Structures are given as structure tokens and as C-alpha cells.
Chains A and B, each alone.
Chain A
Amino acid sequence: MRRKTWDKVRGALWATGLYALLIALAAFLLAPFVWMVLISVHPWNTPIPAISDLIPRGPDGQVHLDWSNYGLVLFDPNLPVARFLFNSAFVTLTVVVGQTLVSSLAAYGFAKLHFRGRELVFALFLGSMMFAGPVTQIPVYLLLRSLGWLDSYWALVVPGLSSAFSVFLLRQFFMQIPAELDEAARIDGAGDFRIYARVVMPLSKAALATAAAFTFFGVWTDFFNPLIYTNSVEMRTLEVGLSIYKNSYGGSNWPAQMTAAVIVMLPLLVVFLFVQRYFVKGIMLGSIK
């Protein structure tokens, strides 16, 4: 009897300790974001507050959150932030839709059809995923330049219309769909395009959502490609456009800089809350060789 009570106490202590650790870690991971939001509601162009003044107060000592910074950044007369937002949204959505379509077609080919050279071509996809990154930036730039696509939506969209990673991820999912299902459809007289559209795709909603989510975050937060493929202010994406904020306003206007950071972050957080459950699945599948 006594032993049982002791075990209970020990279990409770253990759980309390674990929760304390979990919360401390959450604080470590989220603290910079909390500070970011708090600094963004300080008056425009004020120096960094001391920790004790982190929650802004008006002259009367009352808490005074100054949300006007958001208006000042979003409608900055020198920067078309609304245009950045549109560019990011348009480019990201187009790439997500296009890449999901192109990659799922290829994934179907690799997962469900047999043809000579399949393994070799798939190896090329995998190899490019690992090794193409560092060397392709200059040639792709030259290619886009000779097509006259630099500084246009073409340059921001077309290079993203397929991705080896998405092909790989979707192939993993498609291979798990039992062959009996497509056999059954085949006996009913369905061709491969029908099986792809009516059997495999509907069964893979979660997989497609996962691939789309990865693409969404990859494109929205892409910094390097828009940086080198565009140069007019009107063609910048949010990520590149608001990095100008840091440079042109220097380190002095911290509330402005943090407001810009929140504006970049907010759409990402909202989308993440909707799709977060797919991330665990997707990453786990992506790692299985």
C-alpha cells in the first residue's frame, strides 16, 4: 500500500519535472518572437527598450500598445509593401499548384509504372536534390536572362514548377497504396490517367497536403532566388522586400524592423497552424530510404 503511494508521488514528481523542462524549452524557442511582437508596438523610431520597459507604457503609466507601426510599414510611401505581399502570395500559390501537379504525375510514373531507365532517372532526381544546389545558380540566372525572364513573374515561378523533393515524397506515399486498388480500377477499364486522377490522387490528400505545405514554406521564405532573379522594387517578394527594411533604415528604428519581421512571419504562422499535423508525417516519410 505504502509502496503504491510512493510510486504515485514519484510519478507525479517525474511528470512535473518533465513539464517544467518542456515549458522552459518552449520559452527558449518562443522568447525571441514574444520580444519581436512587444518591440513592434513601441513608438516608431524609438531606441530598444530595457527589459523593464518592454511592455510599452504611455506618459500616464498605463500600458500603451502602439499598433500604428503596422500601418506605417504596410503603407510605407517609399516601399510598395502591399505589392510585395501580392508578389509573394501569387508566386507561392502558382508554384504550389504547379509543382504539386507536375511532381505528382512524375511520382505516379515512378511508383506505379515499370519502364526501362526508371531507376536511373529516379537516381538523377535524388542526386540533383542533394548536389545541384550550389552550382546551378549562375547557369539558371543566365538561362532566365537569355529568355528575357529576369525581373518578371516567369523567373520567380518557372524554376519552382517541379521539385525533386516533392517527387520523392509523393512517390513514397504512392508506393504505399496497395496495388489491388489500381488493379481493380484497371479491370473496370480505367486507364492510367484515370487511375491517377480518380484513385491515387483522392487517396493521397494528406500526402498532397504535406508536399504542398513544404513547397509553400520553401517558396514563401525563399530569399536567395528572388534576390538574384529580380532587381526592381516592384518585383520583390515580401522576404526580399522587407530585408530592405533592415538595410535602409539601419539599426536605429527597431520598432519598424520588428514590425516588418512580424508581417513576414504572420502568414507563415497562420498556414502552419492549419497544416502542422502533416509536417510530422511528411518528414518521417521523407527520411525512409
Chain B
Amino acid sequence: MMRRREARLGWLFISPAFFHLVVFALFPMGYALYLSFFKWHLIKDVRQYVGSSNYAFCLTDETFLHSLWNSAKYSLLSVPFGMALGLAVAILVNQKLRGISIFRTIYYIPAISSGVAIAMLWIYVYLPETGLLNSMALGLLGEHGRLTPMVASMLGKPDWHLASIDFLNSTQWAMIALAFMSGWGGLGPKMVLFLAGLLGIPQSLYEAAELDGAGRWRSFVSVTLPMLAPTTFFVLVTSTIGALQVFTPVYMMTKGGPDESTNVVGYQIYQEAWVTFHTGLAAAESFVLLALIAVVSLAQFRMMKSTLVGYATT
């Protein structure tokens, strides 16, 4: 009797959130799957059942495949960089120093910033000639830079100097520029997560390592890194999921260009869904992205498991 009352109450407590979940997440997921089998124009609202041909189309469509490749590239550039930076900064702010919490707060600020403001800001940072990055670098190493003669003579090339780079308009640099910006912007949460991980490592392990004659580096490799493995895994999975869906910076800063070099899959789906109104195709493409995210997360999970087993046996 008691149990049944509790069950009814339990459902009562979760019912608003569960209803919302059904209406705004579960039903839409099913409906998106249904949509992906139709040729459907969002505005004209004509729909025609086409079977799996949306999938067949996008999996052979060069633009879409290229956008998947671009997303992979973006993730491979931004995730390791962001994680390494996050871990390094976490170790730095884990030092017992006066005023350290002020630095922790400062380092978090880019992460709470508006994506639009950040994009406007970094367009300026990356501008050729007058942008923050170029003007600083050129002031030191440009044609009339202060350090140019010194470096040129060291290189043995008297005419050497840096040239201005138009980062966001260069097929070679645009993606790197976006990934670098994301490392800057995403530092805060990664730092906090790694910091939490570091604080959770029992001090006794370091003492034992010291007794065994381990130096700073050795205890970092043999104690810190393995003990951080669960945190690292969590950060890896969440940042990869985020990186595979990146949209705002691409929309604001490069529009997928130049020459489609930053046309990531999130932007590509946006184009199909809201610009060319290939609604059914966009739904199919979003499921391909979903599958990709699931596969990558699962692979990372497997990798994590085998790493942990490796540590347990040695």
C-alpha cells in the first residue's frame, strides 16, 4: 500500500519534467527519424515518401561528407588542445598561493561570455594587418618589426620577415583559428573539472611515490594521470560531443568558408534545414551526426575501460 502511494507520488513529482521531455525531446527525436524518410520542403510543405534515399544521398554527397571531415578536423584540433590547456591550467591553479581563487575566476570569464560577442571580438583578433594578433606579431617580426633584424641575421636570411595573415580568409588557417579560439573560450569548465579531479587524488599516493624515489615528473605520470583518468574521460566525451556540433562561431565568423574549408556538419545541417529548406534531407543528416556522436562516445568509453584495466593489472 505504502509502496503504491510512493510510486504514484514519484510519477507525480517527475511528471512536469517528463511531459516536457516527451514533448520537446523524445517525440521530436522520433519525428525527426520519420521526417528523414521524406522529401519535404519546410515552407511549401510538400512531402513525399522517398524511403532511405535521403540517407543514400547525403552519404554520397561530397559537400556533406566534406563537412563531416571538417568536423573531425575541428574536433581533432580543438579537443586535445583544449584538454591539454585545461589540465595545465588546473595544475597551475591547484598551487597553494595567496589570491589563487581570483585567477580561477578570471580564467572562467571567457566561458560565460556570449558566443556572439566572442565571435565579434575574435574576428577583430584575426583581422589581417590591423587585427590584434597580426599587429602584435608584425610589430615585433614584421617588415619594420623591432626584432626582425635580429631574427633575420640569426636565420642568415637578411630579407626575412613575417607577412600579415588573413586567418579567417585562408583555407589553411581558418579552421586552426576557430579551434584555437575554442580552446580560449572553453578553458573554464575544463579547468574546473580537472581541478576537481586533482583535489580528489589522495595525498598518500604522492607520499608513497616519494618514498619510492619518484620525482615530480614521475609522480605526475604514475599517480596524477592514471588517477585523473575518469575525469579525463568525462572531459573528452563532453568536449568531443560539443566540438562535433559547433555552430555559432562558424555562422558568425566564416559562414563555412573560405572555399567550404570550415563548413562543419553543424553548419551544413543548418544550411539544409533553414536556408535551402531541404527539411527531410537535413533530418537525415542530423541522424548521421547523431550516429557519429554515439559511435565516437562509445569508442572513447571502450578506450577508457581498457586504459583503466591496464592500470589495475600493472
A residues engaging B (CB < 8 A)?
15, 18-19, 21-22, 25-26, 28-33, 35-36, 39, 47-48, 50-51, 102-103, 105-106, 108-110, 113-116, 118, 121, 124-125, 128, 130-140, 142-143, 159, 161-162, 164, 167, 192, 196, 217, 220-221, 223-224, 228, 239-240, 242-243, 246, 251, 254, 257-258, 260-262, 264-265, 268-269, 272, 276, 279-280, 283-284, 287, 289
Chain B residues whose CB sits within 8 angstroms of the CB of A280 once the complex forms: 104, 192, 195-196
Per-residue 0/1 for B145-179: is the Cβ within 8 Å of any A Cβ (1 yes, 0 no)?
A: 00000000000000000000000000000000000
CB-CB under 8 A for A138 and B273, given A103-B17, A105-B13, A124-B21? yes
Cβ contact of A136, chosen from B32, B184, B241, B294, cutoff 8 A: B32
- Complex A-B: 21 CB contacts under 8 Å: A106-B14, A114-B10, A115-B8, A128-B29, A132-B25, A133-B241, A135-B286, A136-B24, A140-B24, A143-B28, A221-B112, A221-B115, A224-B248, A246-B116, A246-B120, A272-B108, A280-B192, A283-B196, A284-B196, A287-B193, A289-B234
Q: Are B252 and A246 in contact (CB under 8 A)?
A: yes
Tell me if B110 is interfacial: C-beta within 8 Å of chain A: yes
Q: Are B125 and A136 in contact (CB under 8 A)?
A: no
Tell me if B209 is interfacial: C-beta within 8 Å of chain A: no
Chain A residues whose CB sits within 8 angstroms of the CB of B122 once the complex forms: 32
Least CB distance, B209 to chain A, in whole angstroms: 20
Known: A48-B124, A162-B20, A258-B121; 7 extra A-B contacts, CB below 8 A, are A29-B110, A32-B132, A109-B11, A109-B12, A115-B11, A140-B28, A167-B17
Q: Are A22 and B92 in contact (CB under 8 A)?
A: yes
Q: Are A135 and B231 in contact (CB under 8 A)?
A: no
Chain B residues whose CB sits within 8 angstroms of the CB of A30 once the complex forms: 106, 109
Tell me if B289 is interfacial: C-beta within 8 Å of chain A: yes
Q: Are B117 and A265 in contact (CB under 8 A)?
A: yes
- What residue of chain B has the Cβ atom nearest to residue A213's Cβ? B112
CB-CB under 8 A for A109 and B106, given A21-B92, A51-B139, A258-B124? no
Chain A residues whose CB sits within 8 angstroms of the CB of B189 once the complex forms: 283
Chain A residues whose CB sits within 8 angstroms of the CB of B135 once the complex forms: 50-51
Chain A residues whose CB sits within 8 angstroms of the CB of B18 once the complex forms: 106, 121
Q: Are B107 and A26 in contact (CB under 8 A)?
A: yes
Q: Are B25 and A102 in contact (CB under 8 A)?
A: no
Across the A-B interface, give the 3 residue pairs with the lowest CB-CB distance, nearest first.
Answer: A109-B13, A106-B17, A139-B28
Least CB distance, A141 to chain B, in whole angstroms: 8
Least CB distance, A30 to chain B, in whole angstroms: 7
Chain A residues whose CB sits within 8 angstroms of the CB of B21 once the complex forms: 124-125, 128, 162, 164
Interface centre among A28, A50, A106, by most chain B C-beta atoms within 10 angstroms, is A106
A78 to B192, CA, bound (A): 42
Q: Are B193 and A242 in contact (CB under 8 A)?
A: no
Chain A residues whose CB sits within 8 angstroms of the CB of B248 once the complex forms: 223-224
A130 to B241, CA, bound (A): 8
State the total of A-B contacts with C-beta under 8 angstroms: 248
Tell me if B79 is interfacial: C-beta within 8 Å of chain A: no
Tell me if B68 is interfacial: C-beta within 8 Å of chain A: no
Least CB distance, A227 to chain B, in whole angstroms: 8
Q: Are A135 and B13 in contact (CB under 8 A)?
A: no
Cβ contact of B106, chosen from A26, A136, A240, cutoff 8 A: A26
A30 to B266, CA, bound (A): 28
A257 to B123, CA, bound (A): 11
- What residue of chain B has the Cβ atom nearest to residue A48's Cβ? B130
Tell me if B247 is interfacial: C-beta within 8 Å of chain A: yes
Q: Are A162 and B17 in contact (CB under 8 A)?
A: yes
Chain B residues whose CB sits within 8 angstroms of the CB of A36 once the complex forms: 117, 121, 124
Q: Are B114 and A221 in contact (CB under 8 A)?
A: yes
Cβ contact of B9, chosen from A110, A121, A142, A192, cutoff 8 A: A192
A138 to B231, CA, bound (A): 34
Least CB distance, A39 to chain B, in whole angstroms: 7
Chain B residues whose CB sits within 8 angstroms of the CB of A261 once the complex forms: 114, 116-117, 120-121
Q: Are B92 and A130 in contact (CB under 8 A)?
A: no
Q: Are A135 and B9 in contact (CB under 8 A)?
A: no
Q: Are A35 and B124 in contact (CB under 8 A)?
A: yes
Chain B residues whose CB sits within 8 angstroms of the CB of A239 once the complex forms: 114-116
- What residue of chain B has the Cβ atom nearest to residue A240's Cβ? B116
Cβ contact of A113, chosen from B13, B127, B234, cutoff 8 A: B13
In the complex, which residues 260-281 of chain B have their Cβ closer than 8 Å to any Cβ of chain A? 266, 269, 273-274, 279
A3 to B117, CA, bound (A): 53
A136 to B289, CA, bound (A): 12
Chain B residues whose CB sits within 8 angstroms of the CB of A125 once the complex forms: 17, 21
Chain A residues whose CB sits within 8 angstroms of the CB of B117 once the complex forms: 36, 242, 260-262, 264-265
Q: Are A223 and B27 in contact (CB under 8 A)?
A: no
Interface centre among B13, B105, B241, by most chain A C-beta atoms within 10 angstroms, is B13
Q: Are B286 and A47 in contact (CB under 8 A)?
A: no
CB-CB under 8 A for A39 and B293, given A47-B130, A287-B231? no
A106 to B11, CA, bound (A): 9
- What residue of chain B has the Cβ atom nearest to residue A144's Cβ? B24
Chain B residues whose CB sits within 8 angstroms of the CB of A114 once the complex forms: 3, 6-7, 10
